[in-house]
Amino acid sequence: MSRSATILSIAADLDSGRTTSLALTEAALARIEDPDGEGRRAFTRVDREAALAQARASDLLRSHGVVPSPLAGVPVSIKDLFDIKGQVTTAGSVVLEDAPPAERDAPVVARLRAAGAVVVGRTNMTEFAYSGLGLNPHHGCPGNPVDRARVPGGSSSGGAVSVTDGMAAAAIGSDTGGSVRIPAAFCRLVGFKPSQKRVCRRGVLPLSSSLDSVGPIGRSVACCAILDGVLTGAAFVATEPAELPGLRLGLPKSYVLEGLDRTVAAAFEDAVRRVERGHAYVHDLPLPQVDRIPDLNGKGGLTAAEAYAWHRDLLSRHGERYDPRVRVRIERGAEQSAADYIDLLHARAALSAEVEAATDRFDALLTPTVAIVPPRFDDLVDDVAYAHINNMVLRNTSVWNFIDRPAVSIPCASGGLPVGLMIIGRRNDDRRLLAIARALERLVD
């Protein structure tokens, strides 16, 4: 399996007999187990024998003409947040090691299996998914494929590296404030955060029930569209690219376009110019409503409140075993009263309605996925610097979780470190967003 292969190209190779699922899976496992590679940091568990058995079964079914989807026989990784029957879901932590194993697969995992995917293992992540950087003091953190001295982004860190390093063709992650899109942007991949209710979250350990979503990381928008079809039970199609001429794309004038790293700013400006040359209409869009979000989240926001409600018993018994940088963020939820939480829910609903009205005439919005390039591990040793950089990394992506809009991050040409272009669609119009992203993907990278 080539490290640049897409699901569609792999499916074509399988159909033609140029490769087999067993060969693909053996190659993926060899890369995971390479002592000089990132596998031991990218995965918390590798299901070698089960993956090989799935691959052999897939090859046998294919030989009899049974190919349930383009994902059949393709190695896929699963974030350590999803229930897999017989395994403990630890969410990148040591706190849950003694928890009972899952009695059944999460629906997301069950749908992947039904589509014929080969699950190679569980990928590493920021503990309990509560950071955009990917650091994990319990299992380590895989290095960024572009520069191993830099972070891969989080919280779905292992998932992104599993794809870039050929350990899987695609990865399934979660996105509460950017945890799919950030590592995709940092690792020159595509990441898709769907509208929240699009993908079932049963059997997925929660961070914030109001904000959590489940989405894929792949090498192309078509990969993510196929995975979206599998995860939602819809058609397993790549989605045709939208027609660019006449598309109305907005640039939201708010803090999401401010304070950009020089590399990010230059790459974003170049991407916008390329889109304009494709005859799409790109217009500035004053969006001051977004600028109210930091104040609304001043006490830790919905994530802290809902995470604290889930973790408070565990914290009282095992708080010393948590990553201190995760624990301090969760404990901010204790600062909020019930009235604070209810006020925030009402404010979120009102703000979402305002933004929907303000953006109604646009097919999609464009922003940089992350305001800065991937930081170096050395930059994150100090807790104060870590907190500042983490907030900056999450800044642009978290807006669209708060407003519940689907968003795709695609790589854009930067001439250096990776930069992502984020395309934000209309709520519950996810397939249209993927079609627009496919059209822009061909222009900007």
- Structural tokens at position 218: 């792949």
* Residue from 179, 195, 208, 220 carrying the catalytic annotation: 179
CB atoms within 10 A of CB 152: 33
* Residue from 93, 155, 254, 398 carrying the catalytic annotation: 155
- Structural tokens at position 159: 């998932």
CB atoms within 10 A of CB 16: 8
**Is the omega angle on the peptide bond into residue 209 within 30 degrees of 0, that is, cis?**
no
Asked if 125 and 77 touch (Cβ cutoff 8 Å), the reply is no
Is position 254 annotated as part of the catalytic site?
A: no
Distance CA 29, CA 38 (A): 12
- Structural tokens at position 3: 């490290």
CA–chain centroid gap for 443, Å, is 22
- Give 218's Cβ-side CA count (13 Å radius): 29
- Structural tokens at position 274: 């390329």
* Residue from 58, 69, 79, 414 carrying the catalytic annotation: 79
Is position 299 annotated as part of the catalytic site?
A: no
CB-count burial class (<10 Å; 0-12, 13-18, 19+) for 52: middle
Is position 79 annotated as part of the catalytic site?
A: yes
- According to DSSP, the residues that pair with 119 across neighbouring strands are 76
- Structural tokens at position 26: 């053996």
Catalytic residue numbers, as ranges: 79, 155, 179
